[in-house]
A = this chain, B = another copy of it.
Amino acid sequence: MTKLLTTTEALELIKAGKIGRLGCVDQDGPYVVPINYLLDDGEIYSHALPGKKIDAMRTDPRVCLQVDHIHDDLHWSSAIAFGRFEEIQKPECRRVAMTKILSSFPKMTPVESMIVQDAAAPDSIIFKIVVERVTGVLEG
Residues 101 to 139 of chain A near chain B (Cβ within 8 Å): 105, 107-109, 111, 139
A28 CB-CB contact with B under 8 Å: yes
A43 CB to closest chain B CB (Å) equals 17
A33 CB-CB contact with B under 8 Å: yes
- Chain A count of residues within 8 A CB distance of the other chain: 36
Number of identical protomers: 2
Residues 28 to 56 of chain A near chain B (Cβ within 8 Å): 28-34, 36
Which residues of the partner chain B approach A66 to less than 8 Å between Cβ atoms? 21, 32-34
A70 CB-CB contact with B under 8 Å: yes
Residues 65 to 99 of chain A near chain B (Cβ within 8 Å): 65-66, 68, 70, 72-74, 76, 78, 80, 82
User: Quick one: given A34-B70, A76-B34, are A63 and B107 in contact (CB under 8 Å)?
Assistant: no
DSSP majority for the A interface?
strand
Are A31 and B64 in contact (CB-based, < 8 A)? yes
Residues 7 to 36 of chain A near chain B (Cβ within 8 Å): 19, 21-25, 28-34, 36
Closest 9 CB pairs of A and B: A29-B62, A23-B30, A32-B66, A73-B107, A23-B32, A21-B21, A23-B23, A34-B68, A25-B30
Interface residues of A (CB under 8 A from B): 2, 19, 21-25, 28-34, 36, 60, 62-66, 68, 70, 72-74, 76, 78, 80, 82, 105, 107-109, 111, 139
